[in-house]
Structure 1
Amino acid sequence: MADFPVLYSFRRCPYAMRARLALAYSQTQVELREIVLRNKPQAMLDVSPKGTVPVLVLPDGRVLEESFDIMRWALRQNDPQDWLLNSEPELQWDIQGLIQENDFVFKQHLDRYKYFDRHPERPQSYYRDECMVSLAKLEARLAANQGYLVLPRMSLADMAIVPFVRQFAHVDRDWFYTNDYPHLQAWVKGFCESDLFKQVMPKFATWQESDSSLIF
């Protein structure tokens, strides 16, 4: 069997989801190893002691431990719809800024909103309102760009961020889908109904060191 990159993943993790999206879109085959976060395999910890997913081990031994790095690596292999916006290089900083706000601001509030019982110093609604500061900006961008974040077409920013907004929406679906955020709602709904999302979200058995390779 040919040597494939090895991807350690956890199905519901939005960081791992964004990595799988980029790998599937770029048609980059990997050996998928689905893990359980409370029982991380030693093989993963040996290559990435920080113990978070996703982790991509390349055939040459290089290890990519950050989801955004995995996305960019995959798109450099094949990017048929120009998600990287190489044709619009002046927008690269725009993409970078959106993803940084998502990863370092929105995600912090999202974790507190989803697991509000671990942060009893504030009510859940407080954390939801903090999330909406970032999401209101996305709503405005989606309205201005015909349903996308940067241009009137898909880009890396959309696929890097929408898994996190999906997670937010699923904390309280009734609240999310009955409030006045039509572009966010349509964006998340379209993502969840897409063939690409369905391709990366089947339920995989937990990987064991004795398992044969599962090529994704």
Structure 2
Amino acid sequence: LRRHDPEGLLKMPDAGWDWINRCEGPFKQALDRTKYATRYPDADPEAERAKAAAHLAALDAQIGTYIFDTPSLADMAIAPFVRQFAFIDKPWFDAQPWPQLQAWLDRFLTSQAFAAVMDKYPQWAEGDAPTVFPA
């Protein structure tokens, strides 16, 4: 993006990097301990969900149409993690008082850009031949 940023994704306030770091750090840790609770037997998944929810409540307060005035790298970096958390328990997520966050996530999920990178492929099964690419 430093060489070619046609959508201006790097044009964001410095706070964008803080949001990204908070998402990749404390939020991702809480997300993993919620979604993959059996991998973390010493963690309380409900307490971890509450930690993630606090992060998302703060994000909801920050969001207008986007995290900042225009789409930025922060939106693109954070949305996949929010999507992953939302689909742990979508009815629960949808019932939360986060209208800005929910609308923002919905715009992301229904965007052409998201559709373009989320092609569906047949599920690989044991014994399938690997794809061989020409040299």
Asked if Structure 1 and Structure 2 have the same fold, meaning a TM-score greater than 0.5 normalized by the shorter chain, the answer is: yes
Report TM bin, short chain: 0.7 to 0.9
Opposite residue 182 of structure 1, the aligned amino acid is P
Aligned to 2:100: 183
Q: CA deviation at 1:76?
A: 2.8
Q: Give the gaps of 5 or more residues in structure 2.
A: none
Q: Counterparts of 1:208 and 1:154 in 2: how far apart (Å)? A: 38
Q: CA deviation at 1:168?
A: 0.3
Please, what TM-score do these two structures have when normalized by structure 1?
0.55
Aligned to 1:165: 82
Q: Give the gaps of 5 or more residues in structure 1.
A: 1-74
RMSD (Å) for aligned C-alpha atoms: 2.1
SS of 2:133's equivalent? coil
Distance 1:212 1:203, change over 3 A: farther
- Larger strand proportion of the pair: 1
Q: Counterparts of 2:134 and 2:72 in 1: how far apart (Å)? A: 35
Matched, 1:103 2:29: no
Q: CA deviation at 1:177?
A: 0.5
Percent identity reads 38
Distance 1:77 1:131, change over 3 A: same
Q: Counterparts of 2:85 and 2:51 in 1: how far apart (Å)? A: 12
Opposite residue 148 of structure 1, the aligned amino acid is Y
Aligned to 1:210: 132
Q: CA deviation at 1:208?
A: 4.0
Aligned to 1:136: 57
The 5-angstrom pairing of residues 48-127 of structure 1 reads: 75-85=1-11, 91=13, 93-127=14-48
Q: CA deviation at 1:114?
A: 0.4
Please, what TM-score do these two structures have when normalized by structure 2?
0.85
SS of 1:76's equivalent? coil
Q: CA deviation at 1:117?
A: 2.1
Q: How many correspondences in the alignment?
A: 130
Q: Counterparts of 1:212 and 1:103 in 2: how far apart (Å)? A: 36
